[in-house]
Amino acid sequence: MPTSAAGSKRPSALPQGFTLLELLVVVALIAVATAGVSLSLRDSAQSALQRDAERLAVLLETGRVQARANGLPVVWRTQDNSSKPLQSFVFEGLPPPGLPQNWLSETTRARAGSAITLGPEPLIEPQAVAVSSAVAPTQTLWVVTDGLRPFKVQNTAVWVGP
């Protein structure tokens, strides 16, 4: 039989609640899991914009090579179709089947009315086109060439070194 004397234990009294140490361990685990998830996820709008800009640089260089090889004047131009929600582009002057005419991401846009002359001359004037995302319009990448070197993606409209 339990007594009320100091030091006696009541058998029916079980610990209730959590200790401070247990709570700290749980909070630390949640913080580590959250940090891992946030670091593994990349800004999808930025990565889609980067992917589309790099693809456009390759397509422009391909159009430039085909213009020189065929001796045809080729112009890359944006197209805004009111019937389609997506902005597209076209390589005017290339024989069929031509090159792709759509962005990979439906949110990618180039400045309306943009046009780049790709050839047939081996040297073209310096060219630049701004590529941005409809989701994050403040993020802009530039696809540029100095007229001699291949097109490349950068953060400014002016050609920056090799």
Structure confidence by residue, pLDDT tens digits, 15-38: 678 899 989 999 999 999 988 887
The amino acid at 29:
L
Structure tokens at 54: 């790099």
In the chain, where the domains are located: 44-154
| Model confidence at 4: pLDDT above 70 | no
CA atoms in the 13 A half-sphere facing the CB of 128? 14
Structure tokens at 118: 């790709």
Tell me the average pLDDT of the chain.
84
Query: With contact defined as beta carbons under 8 Å apart, do 159 and 126 qualify?
Result: yes
Closest CA to 108 of 155, 154, 152, 46: 46
Q: What is the pLDDT of residue 62?
A: 93
State pLDDT tens for residues 72-96: 899 999 987 655 556 789 999 988 8
Q: What CATH topology corresponds to 44-154?
A: minor pseudopilin epsh fold (3.55.40)
**What is the pTM (predicted TM-score) of this model?**
0.70
